[in-house]
Every structure is written in structure tokens, then in C-alpha cells.
């Protein structure tokens, strides 16, 4: 019971945590913006995409100074890095990994004049906003493509860590697959690593050996698309357009554009209109999208994806509106009901069509 | 007429050599580093100045450096202990993780809402678990002479997988929306901070441990025996010293101290265990122990300097906009030069002119 | 049966980078020098192999350059530990830090690109052998070269004059010196050649296995190789066994998952490490107490020739 209350509180903070609190405007040529990355910018994935959003800020506001620290461990090091930014006079800090959450709050309490934006977390404060995107919408659309293209009706999913964000993505993808192909199943391999190109490549081959002819992924390197290209199976990338890794096999990829958020926040801080908010934008805002289709994707599939996209963008429908069945076919979300944001954020069960179990549940 | 170079072992090491050589090595490294920095387009003096100011230039910097140095000091003392006996414990990383896991277990399963009691419970848990973890490798070495470099290295990986198992599985905080982290520690399970910064009780523990083992090695019979066993196991055996028992004991203590470092990190700083807890600095502790020439008090100083190098490196990224990679290369360079400099501390080079002898 | 074959083939494929690194380290350690900088060497090898392949269009030139760069960086370690008699553990760790930094630094512009790399070349005739053919002879050329290297190294260490000399230098440098061998020369060559082979292991990862470059892409394989050297007791054939065992456990758990089996991955991933300890204990006990068979007698100790 106590735990439920804590959970509800956390969600309430997530949803309604915004506070009215005014910050003074900062002239563009005086504003310094710091970025904290969990991986190396050269990972070609998560941290790389966040660094693109830093570059987007520099392009949009040429007078601004930006800087970053890469490969910061999620722990005491993160506190020090953010404090160093503050001491060097940075007035806006983007912390771009979930694991920085406690540390962001800690530093923000000590420095109420500095604005913090934390990516993918749920704790906010007067000077701490959080931002994330509804990647699951793009994943659903990519599932439509994958479901249309599979012939063996087995689709492989190379997944990093069993956390709600990844599970939500697998579920959305699978909903897309099943919407066009009720016989297809999705098989998941957990790597327990965000970043190990060798293992991602090996996992891809293992899925191909198990009969998968389309591979989707939630990991940070391009190793899976490369392996898929070599094995001659289709692949759905992630993070950015990965067709460079799989020129003849890349169907599409759900992609991030964090610059949509960073440039807006920077603009608000310059104008002095920034307020703490929870940004969980969807495809309509452009923070998530699909990479261009590969040539092999037939016209009718493209049309279908376009139709579904406009339904989502216009708010007529969303991926986890009922009915949603779990793996055993039990209806978890009834027709006419919608999964709430808090349910989405703590997703810990597979929808119908995913094979296997979520570890440690 | 030919010039002949001869290398001779120094019989005595004058004080000025002890002090001058390491300083000279560092200067050489900085000079080489400045060429490198200049090539990257960063004014070297400005860069070094920024590094120094951020890590040691004022109290805030010193504070940051101290916080970073606490686990390095603690684990460094632990590693030193084993190295004294020529037992190559490179498993500080795993022992730190196990110490952190045991601390978390103490908070979960035997929580007492009293800061004093809770501290000792966590301390005991970290010591027993970290010590026991390392003692396994010690026992294998003592009993069958199984190579401890490998067992401790392997135990590092096993410890990391155990951490994953617990934070993804049984210990996952239900309020964290499914993210792999444990419930935050209650206030009574947090180590007290000293003063305003984030320097916690762990600093005192590290200093006390450093002093204790300095005294032990300097003044006690046991400390002497350990050194003899490290330098010449054969002599020790003839003298009737119990090598087997002491290997296990030394590994236990070494691991226990690393375990305390792990406790300091979770109970002192993060306040919960989470996925990103990696304790890579367990390897850095080995470098610290060696640079300090296995002297427990010097370990404290060297840990501080290495901490400063790390903190300063971040500032290079922020102020000079240099990638992490360039500061890593700089760190590697400094180590190379210090290592090379050691040669001139231990040996002297003589130039002889004249005909061949 | 098919599953078993694919797992075994995957074990060979994913074990190969570790095998190269292990073989390189065996050569180095046989001379009495311990090099813990494998992770840094592999990363530099991976970057060099990839970048040269991309710029020149020739993967083999890339691999050759990886060997040269690996040997070149090992020269730092050789100079410090042989000529200046520095501590080898610390020098190796410094090499890892330096190599990691240098590879990330110079590799930035290659992130996100790809190369054709090495393709699969089934060996005519041999690849048709049932089971074994698909497990062993359906890979790229670098895998076959590693088989040859295992055999060559065994022959070299056991049957050649130079090999015997190398072992003498590693076991009892004083005696070797008295025999008129140049301890320094043998050690320098061993560290350089060994480091070059380690770097080829890194290049295998980027040029043949994934055909891409990303920072830190070795993901700890260098450290596993350090362990495998002792697991193999400095024996090239056992090194191959160990490397494939490591690759096999990973391939096995991934395929269990691909088959839809739910397994506690962290617990399973402890297996190779536990197994290493178990095998090490077993082998050590069987050899009796005392020095491990094959362990170079002066490993990690600098040699100092007292002059009159």
C-alpha cells in the first residue's frame, strides 16, 4: 500500500510537477549551456544524438557558448561535473541520461538560479524540467513496416536493458507488427549492455538463425544493421537513419531529434520565459520521427504508415488505446480505454505477439 | 677515444633525488603535454591553469578533488596491503561493488532507525562481504597456489553481474517506474557530511586506515612479517612464518577495505544503488598504490593528486572544449613519464671517457 | 544439431578477436614481460584497421597497419619496462588509458561510417566436411590465419632454437644472458610482435566482425584475454580452446534467448568467469603445488645486468 502511494506521488510529480517561477532573461551572448553525456559522443547512438542537439543550439543561436562533458558515470561524478559547469558560469544544463536523476535534483537544490533539463527522468523542481519523446509512436509505425515485410512471421528484436522505456518500445513495435500481420511474433534478446557492437552483431545473427527475417533494435551502435545487411535480412534501425550501415536492407528507423527541445528551452531561457515543465512530446512535435523508407518498402505500406501517422499526429488514436491484450490474450486495456502516461512509464508486461518473458519479474 | 655509458644501481637514495625525480617527471610530462595541447589549438598554460584552479586552486576545487579521492584513498590502502605481501590483488573493483551490495543489503534487511547503530551495521556488512569476497581468492592461492591475478580479475566480472542481478531483479525500487535502482536509503543510513560540501565520513575512515597501516608496517612484528613474506617467501618459510594463514588474512583485510570504499560511495554519496555503479576506479587504485611505492600515507597524497588530475580533466572539456580522449592521453603521458623517471631514482648513469676497460 | 553447429561456429567467430589478443600476450609474457595494456592496444588496432581499410580500400593493408601501430605503441611499454625497468603493471595500465584516449581522439571522424571489410571465404573441400566444415571452415581469412598462428606459435615455442631461447629469456634471464643471448633484444622483439598481434585482434573486431568503428568498441575483451593467457597456461592451443569457450557461452545464451527461452542473463553471464576460476583451480591442483607449468619464471620482473 505504502509503495503504491509512493508510486502515485512520483507519477503526480511527473504529471503536475510544473511550478510557476520566473527566471531573469539572459542575453544570448552571455548564455552558456552545458551538456552532460553518459557515453562518448563517438558512440554513434544515444550520446551522439544528444550532441547533435547541442550543435542545433549553436546553429540556432550563434552568440551562445555550449560545452559538454562525455562519458560521465551515473553517480558522484555527475554531481561534480554539473557543479563545475555552474561554477564556470553556465546557466543552463542538459543532463542526458536517466541515471543522472538524483544528482540533477541534488545540484539543482544548491543552485536555484541555474536551469536544469533532465532527459528521460521523472523528478522535477522549480528549476528542473524533464524531457522525453513518445518514441513508441514511431516504433509502432516501424512495426507496421516490419510486419508487412516479414515472410517467416518471426521478427527479432535486439534490446539493451529490461527497463520500461525499452519494453514500451518492444510493445509498440509489436502492436504495429500485429496490426498488419496477426500471425507474426517478435522475439527479444536482452544484451544487458547499451553498448557492445560485437554482442549486438552476434545477437542479430542468433535471431536470424532462429528464423527471424526482420530485425529491430534498441541499442546504441550500428552493429545490428550491419550484421543484418550481411545476413540478408531486413532491419529497422534506431536513434538515427542507419541506412548507411545497411544500404540494401534498411527499412526505416524510429529516430530522435532532441534539438526540437533544446532549441526551444534555450530560447525560453534567453527570453526569461522558461518554466519547469514535463515535456513528453510525440510525433506531432517532431521530437520523434521515422527515417526515410528503403527502396524495398512497397507503396501500399508507405501509404498505410502515412495514414496511421496522421491518425496519431491528429490525436485520433494512439498506440496503447484499448483493446490491448497481453501475451496470454487477456485484455489488459478494454476497448474504449486508454493506457495512462503513468502506466506507459512503468510498462512491465509484454503485449500479445511478443514471445518470451521479461527477466526478473 | 670512446664514450661508454654505464648503468649502476643507486646504493643510497638521497632525499633530493626522492623529491626531485618525480617532480621532474611531471614537468617533462607537462611539457610534452603542452606540445600536444598546442597542436590541438588549446593554449597550454591556460589549459594547465584551468586544470589546477578547478582541482586545487580554491577550497571548492579541493573539496571536489577530495570527494573524488576518498574511494581512491581507501581502495588504494587496501591494495597496498596485499601488494606489500606480493599478493597481486587487482580485484578492488569487484570488492568495492560487493561492499556496496552488502551495504544495501544491510539497509534493506536489518535497518535500524539510528544513525550510529546503522553505520556500524553497514560497516560490518561491507567489511565482511568485501573481505570474504577477496579471501576466496586468498584461500585458493594459499591452499593450491591458484594465480590470484586471474581469480580477482574474474571475481570483478562476477561482482558486476551480481550487481545487475540485484538492481534489475529483487531489489528494484517499485517507485522508480521500473528503472534499475534500489529504494533510496533512509537518512539514518547515510554517512554524515563533514562541513558544507559533500565530503563525508569516508574521508576520516580513509585517513585513519592510512595511518593505522603505516603504523602496522612500521612498528609491528606482523607488519614486518608481511613485508618479509612479500620480499622473500623462502626466507619467511625458514623463519617459521605462516604464509598460508597470512595470505588469507591479508586478502581479507585488503578486500574489506575496498568494501568500505564501496560503502562510502553508496551510503555517503549516491544514497542508493543503481545500474551505473561501475567502480572502475578500483583499477586506478592499483596505479595509486604503485605510484605511492606502497607507502600507506603516500597513498593518501597520490590519491589526492590522481583525483585532481581527473577533476582537472573535466574542466579541460568544459572550458577548453577538448574531448575526454585528449585528457586521457594526457593522463597516460604523465604516467609514462613518472614511470620512466623512476629509473633515474633507482639507477645512476655514468659516462666514462677513454679506452675500453 | 543445426543449433549446436551455429553456436559452435559463432563461438569461433566471436572468440577470434580474443584469441589474437591472447596469442599476442602469450608471446609477450613468454619473454618475461607482462603487458596489461591489451584493451588500449586492441582499440588502437581496431581504429587503425578500420581507418586504413576505409582510406585505402584494402582491408589487408588495414590489418597490416594495425599490426605496425600495435607494435609501435608497445614500444613505449617495452622501453619503459625493459630499458628503464619500470613497473610493468602500472605501465600496462597507463598504456590502456593512453590507447583508449588516442583511439577515441583519432577515431572521431570515422564514427558512423562503414567498410566492406573481410568477407566470408569457405575453404574449398574442407567446408563440406559434416559439422566441422561449417564450424571451422566457413569464416573469413583472418580466422584461418589464427588457426595457423596457433599451430605456428606452438611449433615455434617448442621446436625452434629461437623459441627455446625466448623461453629461456623469460624463465631465467640470468642464465640466458650467460649463454650469450641478448635478453633485451629478445624482450623487445617479443613485446613488439606480441603487441602487434594483439592489435590485429582489435582490427578483427572492426574490419571483419562488425565492419564499423565506435569508441570503446572492444568492451572489455582485452581484459578477458589477459585472463585467458593464464587460463591457457601460456599454451597456444589451450588459448584457442579458452577463447572459443568464452565466445561460445555468449553465443549460447543469446541463442537460448532467441529461441524464446527466458533466462536470468546476469546469472548466466557469470558462468564463463566462474568456469575460468574452476579450470584454473583444477589445472593448478593437478600440476601439484608450486610454480604453474609454463609460467615464465621471471614474469613481471625487470632484468638488471650487473656490470663489473
Q: What is the DSSP string of C117-168?
A: -PPP-PPTTGGGSTTHHHHHSSS-HHHHHHHHHHHHHHHHHHH-HHHHHHHH
pLDDT category at C308 given cuts 50, 70, 90 is very low
pLDDT category at B94 given cuts 50, 70, 90 is very high
Contacts with C265 from chain A: Cβ below 8 Å = 190, 192, 359
Would an 8 Å CB–CB cutoff place A127 in contact with chain C? no
- Return mean pLDDT, chain B: 89
Has residue C243 got a pLDDT over 90? yes
C53's CB contacts (< 8 A; 6+ apart) are C59, C61, C62, C63, C115, C117, C207
Would an 8 Å CB–CB cutoff place C84 in contact with chain B? yes
Report yes or no on B227 lying in a domain.
Answer: yes
Contacts with B326 from chain C: Cβ below 8 Å = 101, 105
Has residue B357 got a pLDDT over 50? no
Has residue A274 got a pLDDT over 70? yes
Has residue A204 got a pLDDT over 70? yes
Contacts with A195 from chain C: Cβ below 8 Å = 214, 216, 219
Instruction: State percent of chain B over pLDDT 90.
Output: 50
Has residue A161 got a pLDDT over 70? yes
Which subunits sit against C, judged by 3+ Cβ pairs under 8 A?
Answer: A, B
**Range with the lowest mean pLDDT among A46-60, A297-311, B214-228, C250-264?**
C250-264
Q: What is the pLDDT of residue A316?
A: 93
> CB A85 to CB B318 under 8 A?
yes
Would an 8 Å CB–CB cutoff place A51 in contact with chain C? no
Query: Which H or E run includes B269?
Result: none
Report yes or no on B156 lying in a domain.
Answer: yes
CA nearest to A81 within chain B:
B314
Contacts with A99 from chain B: Cβ below 8 Å = 181, 274-276
Has residue A17 got a pLDDT over 50? no
Helix, coil or strand: residue A119: strand
CA nearest to B348 within chain C:
C84
- pLDDT tens sequence across B34-91: 888 888 888 999 999 999 998 998 898 999 999 999 999 999 999 999 999 989 898 9
Contacts with A280 from chain B: Cβ below 8 Å = none
Q: What is the pLDDT of residue A304?
A: 97
CA nearest to C290 within chain B:
B145
A359 backbone dihedrals φ, ψ, rounded to 5°: -60, 150
Query: Which structural domain, as residue segments, surrounds residue C165?
Result: 16-219
Contacts with C262 from chain A: Cβ below 8 Å = 356-359
Select A135-253+291-355's CATH number: 3.40.50.2000, 3.40.50.2300, 3.90.550.10, 3.40.50.300: 3.40.50.2300
CA nearest to A103 within chain B:
B270
pLDDT category at C267 given cuts 50, 70, 90 is confident
Burial class (CB in 10 A: 0-12, 13-18, 19+), A315: exposed
Burial class (CB in 10 A: 0-12, 13-18, 19+), A328: exposed
Report yes or no on B194 lying in a domain.
Answer: yes
Domains: count for chain B: 1
Has residue B205 got a pLDDT over 70? yes
Has residue C289 got a pLDDT over 50? no
User: Model ipTM?
Assistant: 0.87
> CB A206 to CB C254 under 8 A?
yes
Q: What is the pLDDT of residue B178?
A: 76
pLDDT category at C233 given cuts 50, 70, 90 is confident
Residue B8: strand pairing partners: B348
Report yes or no on C284 lying in a domain.
Answer: no
Q: Which of A44, A189, A230 sits opposite C111 (nearest CB)?
A: A44
From B97, B21, B65, B84, select the one nearest B236 (Cα to Cα).
B84
Contacts with C261 from chain A: Cβ below 8 Å = 356
Report yes or no on C201 lying in a domain.
Answer: yes
The pLDDT of A196-200, averaged and rounded, is 88
CA nearest to C258 within chain A:
A207
Instruction: State percent of chain C over pLDDT 90.
Output: 53
Contacts with A41 from chain C: Cβ below 8 Å = 108
Has residue B278 got a pLDDT over 80? no
Q: Which of B64, B165, B324 sits opposite A40 (nearest CB)?
A: B324
Has residue A16 got a pLDDT over 70? no
Has residue B15 got a pLDDT over 50? yes
- pLDDT tens sequence across B294-324: 999 999 999 999 999 889 988 989 988 888 8
**Range with the lowest mean pLDDT among B124-133, B142-151, C203-212?**
B142-151
* Domain segments of chain A as ranges: 2-133+257-285, 135-253+291-355
Would an 8 Å CB–CB cutoff place C75 in contact with chain B? no
| Dist CA C15 CA C148 (whole Å) | 15
> CB B146 to CB C284 under 8 A?
yes
Would an 8 Å CB–CB cutoff place A355 in contact with chain C? yes
> CB A198 to CB C217 under 8 A?
yes
Domains: count for chain C: 1
CATH classification of A2-133+257-285 is 3.40.50.2300, yes or no?
Answer: yes
> Best mutation site among C107, C263, C266 for testing chain B: the one with the most B CBs within 10 Å?
C266
**Range with the lowest mean pLDDT among B184-193, B205-214, C83-92?**
C83-92
In this complex, how many residue pairs, one in chain A and one in chain B, have their CB atoms less than 8 Å apart? 109
Has residue B279 got a pLDDT over 70? yes
Would an 8 Å CB–CB cutoff place A122 in contact with chain C? no
Q: How far is B309 from chain C (nearest CA, A)?
A: 13
Contacts with C285 from chain B: Cβ below 8 Å = 144
From A99, A93, A137, A138, select the one nearest A120 (Cα to Cα).
A99
**Range with the lowest mean pLDDT among A163-167, A216-220, A322-326, B229-233?**
B229-233
The pLDDT of C22-27, averaged and rounded, is 96
> CB A189 to CB C104 under 8 A?
no
Instruction: State percent of chain A over pLDDT 70.
Output: 93
Q: What is the pLDDT of residue B276?
A: 77
Q: What is the pLDDT of residue B239?
A: 84
Has residue A170 got a pLDDT over 90? yes
Has residue C298 got a pLDDT over 50? yes
Q: Which of B265, B270, B315 sits opposite A102 (nearest CB)?
A: B270
Q: How far is B190 from chain A (nearest CA, A)?
A: 14
pLDDT category at B95 given cuts 50, 70, 90 is very high
CA atoms within 13 A on the CB side of A135: 24
Report yes or no on C162 lying in a domain.
Answer: yes
The pLDDT of C149-161, averaged and rounded, is 94
Contacts with B169 from chain C: Cβ below 8 Å = 264, 266
The pLDDT of B215-227, averaged and rounded, is 93
Contacts with C274 from chain B: Cβ below 8 Å = 154, 158
| Dist CA A320 CA B218 (whole Å) | 69
Would an 8 Å CB–CB cutoff place C76 in contact with chain B? yes
Query: Which structural domain, as residue segments, surrounds residue B109?
Result: 72-304
Please tell me if the domain spanning A2-133+257-285 has the same topology as the one spanning A135-253+291-355: yes
CA nearest to A228 within chain C:
C210
Contacts with A201 from chain C: Cβ below 8 Å = 209-210
Has residue B136 got a pLDDT over 50? yes
Has residue C198 got a pLDDT over 90? yes
pLDDT higher at B6 or C199: C199
Q: How far is B108 from chain A (nearest CA, A)?
A: 15
Would you tell me how many other CB atoms lie within 10 Å of the CB of residue B136?
Answer: 18
* Size (chain A), residues: 361
Q: What is the pLDDT of residue B197?
A: 79
Q: How far is C267 from chain B (nearest CA, A)?
A: 7
| Dist CA A188 CA A155 (whole Å) | 9
pLDDT category at A205 given cuts 50, 70, 90 is very high
Report yes or no on B211 lying in a domain.
Answer: yes
Report yes or no on B269 lying in a domain.
Answer: yes
Q: How far is CA B142 from CA B147, C109, C289, in A?
A: 10, 50, 10
Report yes or no on B36 lying in a domain.
Answer: no
> CB B318 to CB A99 under 8 A?
no
- pLDDT tens sequence across C94-138: 999 999 999 998 998 888 788 888 888 888 888 888 888 888 998
> CB B318 to CB A7 under 8 A?
no
Amino acid at each position: 500500500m505504502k509503495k503504491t502511494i509512493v508510486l502515485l506521488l512520483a507519477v503526480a510529480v511527473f504529471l503536475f510537477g510544473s511550478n510557476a517561477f520566473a527566471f531573469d532573461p539572459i542575453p544570448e551572448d552571455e548564455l552558456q549551456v552545458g551538456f552532460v553525456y553518459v557515453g562518448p559522443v563517438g558512440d554513434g547512438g544515444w550520446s551522439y544524438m544528444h550532441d547533435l542537439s547541442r550543435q542545433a543550439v549553436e546553429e540556432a543561436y550563434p552568440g551562445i557558448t555550449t560545452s559538454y562533458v562525455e562519458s560521465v558515470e551515473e553517480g558522484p561524478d555527475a554531481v561534480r561535473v554539473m557543479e563545475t559547469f555552474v561554477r564556470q558560469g553556465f546557466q543552463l544544463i542538459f543532463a542526458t541520461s536517466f541515471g543522472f536523476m538524483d544528482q540533477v535534483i541534488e545540484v539543482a537544490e544548491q543552485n536555484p538560479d541555474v536551469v536544469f533539463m533532465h532527459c528521460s527522468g521523472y523528478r522535477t523542481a522549480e528549476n528542473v524540467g524533464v524531457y522525453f519523446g513518445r518514441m513508441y509512436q514511431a516504433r509502432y509505425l516501424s512495426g507496421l513496416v516490419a510486419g508487412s515485410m516479414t515472410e517467416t512471421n518471426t521478427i527479432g528484436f535486439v534490446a539493451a536493458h529490461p527497463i520500461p522505456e525499452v519494453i514500451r518500445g518492444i510493445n509498440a513495435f509489436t502492436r504495429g507488427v500485429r496490426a498488419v500481420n496477426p500471425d507474426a511474433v517478435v522475439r527479444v534478446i536482452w544484451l544487458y549492455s547499451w553498448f557492445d557492437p560485437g554482442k549486438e552483431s552476434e545477437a542479430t545473427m542468433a535471431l536470424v538463425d532462429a528464423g527471424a527475417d526482420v530485425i529491430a533494435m534498441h541499442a546504441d551502435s550500428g552493429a545490428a544493421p550491419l550484421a543484418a545487411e550481411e545476413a540478408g535480412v531486413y532491419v529497422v534501425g534506431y536513434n538515427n537513419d542507419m541506412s548507411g550501415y545497411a544500404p540494401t536492407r534498411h527499412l526505416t528507423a524510429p529516430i530522435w531529434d532532441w534539438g526540437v527541445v533544446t532549441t526551444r528551452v534555450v530560447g525560453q531561457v534567453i527570453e526569461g520565459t522558461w518554466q519547469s515543465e514535463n515535456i513528453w512530446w510525440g510525433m506531432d512535435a517532431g521530437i520523434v520521427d521515422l527515417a526515410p523508407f528503403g527502396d524495398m518498402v512497397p507503396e501500399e505500406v508507405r501509404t498505410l504508415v502515412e495514414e496511421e501517422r496522421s491518425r496519431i499526429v491528429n490525436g485520433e488514436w494512439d498506440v496503447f488505446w484499448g483493446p490491448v491484450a497481453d501475451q496470454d490474450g487477456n485484455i489488459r486495456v478494454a476497448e474504449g480505454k486508454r493506457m495512462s502516461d503513468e502506466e506507459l512509464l512503468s510498462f512491465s508486461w509484454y503485449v500479445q505477439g511478443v514471445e518470451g518473458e521479461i527477466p526478473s519479474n | 677515444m670512446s664514450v661508454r655509458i654505464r648503468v649502476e644501481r643507486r646504493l643510497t637514495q638521497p632525499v633530493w633525488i626522492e623529491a626531485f625525480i618525480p617532480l621532474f617527471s611531471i614537468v617533462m610530462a607537462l611539457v610534452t603535454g603542452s606540445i600536444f595541447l598546442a597542436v590541438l589549438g588549446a593554449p597550454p598554460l591556460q589549459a594547465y591553469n584551468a586544470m589546477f584552479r578547478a582541482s586545487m586552486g580554491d577550497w571548492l576545487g579541493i573539496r571536489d578533488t577530495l570527494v573524488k579521492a576518498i574511494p581512491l584513498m581507501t581502495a588504494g590502502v587496501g591494495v597496498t596491503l596485499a601488494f606489500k605481501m606480493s599478493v597481486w590483488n587487482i580485484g578492488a573493483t569487484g570488492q568495492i561493488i560487493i561492499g556496496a551490495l552488502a551495504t544495501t543489503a544491510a539497509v534493506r534487511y536489518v535497518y535500524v532507525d539510528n544513525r550510529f547503530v546503522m553505520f556500524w551495521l553497514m560497516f560490518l556488512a561491507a567489511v565482511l562481504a568485501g573481505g570474504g569476497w577477496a579471501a576466496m581468492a586468498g584461500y585458493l592461492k594459499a591452499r593450491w597456489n591458484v594465480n590470484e591475478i586471474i581469480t580477482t580479475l574474474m571475481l570483478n566480472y562476477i561482482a558486476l553481474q551480481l550487481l545487475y542481478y540485484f538492481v534489475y531483479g529483487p531489489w528494484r525500487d517499485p517507485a522508480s517506474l521500473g528503472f534499475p535502482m534500489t529504494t533510496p536509503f533512509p537518512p539514518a543510513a547515510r554517512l554524515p557530511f563533514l562541513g558544507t560540501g559533500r565530503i563525508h565520513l569516508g574521508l576520516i575512515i580513509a585517513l585513519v586506515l592510512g595511518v593505522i597501516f603505516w603504523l602496522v608496517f612500521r612498528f609491528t612484528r606482523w607488519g614486518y612479517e608481511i613485508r618479509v613474506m612479500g620480499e622473500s617467501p623462502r626466507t619467511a618459510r625458514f623463519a617459521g612464518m605462516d604464509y598460508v594463514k597470512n595470505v588469507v588474512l591479508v586478502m581479507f583485510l585488503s578486500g574489506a577495505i575496498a568494501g568500505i570504499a564501496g560503502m562510502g560511495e553508496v551510503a555517503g554519496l549516491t544514497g542508493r544503488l543503481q545500474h551505473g555503479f561501475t567502480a572502475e576506479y578500483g583499477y586506478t587504485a592499483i596505479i595509486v598504490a604503485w605510484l605511492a611505492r606502497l607507502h600507506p600515507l603516500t597513498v593518501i597524497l597520490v590519491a589526492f593528486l590522481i583525483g585532481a588530475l581527473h577533476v582537472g580533466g573535466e574542466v579541460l572539456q568544459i572550458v577548453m572544449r577538448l574531448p575526454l580522449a585528449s585528457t586521457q592521453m594526457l593522463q597516460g603521458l604523465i604516467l609514462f613519464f613518472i614511470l620512466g623517471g623512476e629509473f633515474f631514482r633507482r639507477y645512476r648513469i655514468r659516462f666514462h671517457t677513454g679506452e675500453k676497460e | 544439431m543445426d543449433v549446436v553447429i551455429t553456436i559452435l561456429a559463432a563461438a569461433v567467430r566471436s572468440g577470434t578477436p580474443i584469441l589474437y589478443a591472447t596469442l599476442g600476450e602469450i608471446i609477450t609474457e613468454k619473454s618475461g614481460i607482462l603487458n596489461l595494456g591489451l584493451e588500449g592496444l586492441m582499440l588502437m588496432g581496431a581504429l587503425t584497421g578500420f581507418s586504413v581499410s576505409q582510406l585505402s580500400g584494402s582491408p589487408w593493408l588495414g590489418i597490416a597497419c594495425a599490426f605496425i601501430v600495435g607494435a609501435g605503441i608497445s614500444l613505449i611499454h617495452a622501453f619503459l619496462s625493459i630499458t628503464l625497468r619500470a613497473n610493468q603493471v602500472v605501465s600496462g595500465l597507463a598504456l590502456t588509458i593512453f590507447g583508449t584516449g588516442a583511439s577515441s581522439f583519432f577515431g572521431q571522424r570515422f564514427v558512423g561510417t562503414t567498410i566492406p571489410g573481410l568477407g566470408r571465404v569457405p575453404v574449398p573441400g574442407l567446408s563440406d566436411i559434416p559439422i566441422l566444415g561449417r564450424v571451422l571452415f566457413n569464416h573469413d581469412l583472418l580466422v584461418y590465419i589464427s588457426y595457423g598462428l596457433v599451430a605456428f606459435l606452438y611449433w615455434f615455442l617448442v621446436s625452434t632454437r629461437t623459441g627455446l631461447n625466448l623461453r629461456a629469456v623469460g624463465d631465467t634471464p640470468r642464465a640466458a644472458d650467460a649463454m650469450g643471448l641478448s635478453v633485451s633484444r629478445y624482450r623487445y622483439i617479443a613485446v613488439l610482435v606480441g603487441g602487434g598481434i594483439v592489435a590485429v585482434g582489435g582490427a578483427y573486431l572492426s574490419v571483419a566482425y562488425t565492419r564499423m568503428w565506435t569508441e570503446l568498441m572492444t568492451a572489455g575483451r582485452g581484459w578477458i584475454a589477459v585472463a585467458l593467457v593464464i587460463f591457457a597456461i601460456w599454451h597456444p592451443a589451450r588459448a584457442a580452446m579458452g577463447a572459443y569457450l568464452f565466445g561460445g557461452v555468449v553465443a549460447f545464451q543469446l541463442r537460448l534467448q532467441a529461441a524464446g527461452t527466458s533466462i536470468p542473463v546476469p546469472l548466466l553471464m557469470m558462468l564463463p568467469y566462474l568456469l575460468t576460476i574452476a579450470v584454473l583451480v583444477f589445472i593448478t591442483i593437478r600440476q601439484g603445488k608450486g610454480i604453474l607449468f609454463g609460467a615464465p619464471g621471471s614474469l613481471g620482473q625487470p632484468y638488471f645486468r650487473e656490470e663489473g
